[in-house]
Structure 1
């Protein structure tokens, strides 16, 4: 049987208003009354309705999260941080898988408005004007995670250009000069273009030309890593190293090279980006750029709920050295 707030009030011998004040942390009752009401709630197993409470305190203790792919390892780490921090603060999370589909994204935004969420986290996708306008109309706080926008919206992310610059520089320091790039989606201003700039800047700092035959675009996924590595090797057999713009692409590249009996790192070195669990599971274990995805998720919740003056946070990155990059002599 599902009990109501009226049932709790009747059993405890108090008014509905008193029960409501206790549930919402408002004053106006004795310690003894609170203890009695909480005892009745426990005995009945009463679960207060978040939306009903929100009508009183204007908060539903719910956060909406929109992201393009729930299943990939990048998303799982960010979501893990979000859900852990939300749970710690007694918030619930509504996860919306947009699949980078504009129509679906707009439908989710309307659904989040109807659910009266307290704020929105927008992850790893371009914030289009129609999305921005919809959130502004909802008058809700929003934080961007692993992405930025031309709008005045708080964000938290790593410095993609600097991270790739540091990664490619590490390969250059190991003696590599013929370095290919498995880039992300062509034209993507959020992740692909900054990482491309980092790659180009690192080569130029060593006086090397940026050669288009050493650049192949993909979609950050495993399959595009396989096909991308194949294309790079065929376009330039002299390559001694490949920087991949995601760990999944790097795993795909490793798979292709293994199928062709090309030894890693003895013949070709491979480096990834993100430092997801996949980087630990590849054979050999993947050297990669590490960005603190779990912490990024946790801090995004704090940013959203506290709405502090700090408008953006650039998270630190580092190089996790494993076994896929060797020195070139």
Structure 2
């Protein structure tokens, strides 16, 4: 017969409530008592039922993260940070792919409510009013990661997109490029992209240059194929471009593919710069010069903010802004 929580309590000489507090991470149990309970658990080989524990503690020890897409290296790198932080505290992670769709996102939020997740990370999308209202009614702690929130009081984790784009464009200008195209994705759904657009324009103004409208192209996605299509369009309509700045590494690799299809060599005929510094940036030929945002660290910080709040360590509030850096490789040449 499997041992019960009452057996553990008798062995440790404490109440079942004390055993429950120890097993659920309560911070108000004396050290000697905690040691006695854990020793009893080990001696009896007691395995607490996860459902029963969640009912007693009002926690399920689960976080959820929602991505528009989970098939790219961006989501994989972010998820690595989230999972490492969660697992270090005994939590598991549920991953949801929304496809960026309104109805599908609301359906997932309803499902997460039914599963009684302890916290939600909303990643790489706009947190719309409908989503914020629904989550707020459920009183589930929430962090927006690498995206925008319609409500400034909701905690966010992100980089400074305007400053990052300013640095990237300034780097290209510093390499002698004055005819630069900008390819940015997700602009219909992610307002932070306007920050990157603002940074691009601001860098040109500060260097006494003008941005031709035909050299800025908005796409709905960040994927390789979007870069192929958008890169080809920029090369057709943008005039004599010497460089293209893409708002994701996958877009940048698509631009490189479009350039090669037109017989252009990177960086001899066209310089290409990306954004994110995903693992594939080092794998490309030539290796991609890019703006690095610390995606793993951002994922870990978002999860840690939630966990600290859930475990009564620190109130969930404020915004974490991560710095970006330029990573020089070989896809940009000096003119």
On whether the aligned pair clears a TM of 0.5, the verdict is yes
Secondary structure in 1 matching 2:126: coil
Could you list the per-position Cα deviations for residues 82-111 of structure 1 after superposition, in whole angstroms to 9, with x for gaps in the alignment? 001111111111111111111111111111
Offset at 1:4?
5.7
Q: Which residue of 2 aligns with 1:171?
A: 172
User: Taking structure 1 as reference, are residues 182 and 33 closer, same or farther at Cα in structure 2, changes over 3 Å only?
Assistant: closer
Structure 2 spans left out of the alignment, 5+ residues:
none
Matched residue SS, 1:175: coil
> In the alignment, which of 324, 327, 333 is matched to residue 326 of structure 1?
333
Q: 2:192 corresponds to which residue?
A: 191
Match of 1:274 among 273, 276, 282: 276
Bigger shift: 252-261 or 117-126? 252-261
Moved over 6 A (4+): none
8 Å CA contact retained: 1:290, 1:317: yes
- Give the structure-2-normalised TM-score: 0.88
Are 2:128 and 1:128 aligned? yes
Gapped regions of structure 1 (runs ≥ 5) = none
SS of the equivalent of 1:267 reads coil
Aligned to 1:17: 16
| Matched-pair contact (CA < 8 Å) for 1:279–1:285 | yes
Cα distance in 2 between the residues matched to 1:214 and 1:318? 24
Comparing 157-166 with 102-111, greater Cα deviation is found at 102-111
Q: CA deviation at 1:22?
A: 5.1
Residues 189-234 of structure 1: per-residue CA shift (max 9 Å, x gap)? 4232111111111111122222111112221111111111111111
Counterpart check, 1:35 vs 2:39: yes
CA distance, structure 1, for counterparts of residue 331 and residue 199 of structure 2: 20
Q: How does 1:289-308 map to 2 (within 5 A)?
A: 289-307=291-309, 308=314
CA distances 1:225-267 after superposition (whole Å, capped 9, x unpaired): 1111111111134110000010000001111112222111111
Conservation of the 8 A alpha-carbon contact between 2:147 and 2:190? no
Is the 2:159–2:322 contact (alpha carbons within 8 Å) kept by the matching residues of 1?
Answer: yes
Distance 2:238 2:136 in 1: 49
Call closer, same or farther: CA 1:21–1:237 in 2, change over 3 Å: closer
User: What is the aligned residue count?
Assistant: 321
Identify which of 225, 228, 231 aligns with 1:226: 228
Partner of 1:105: 105
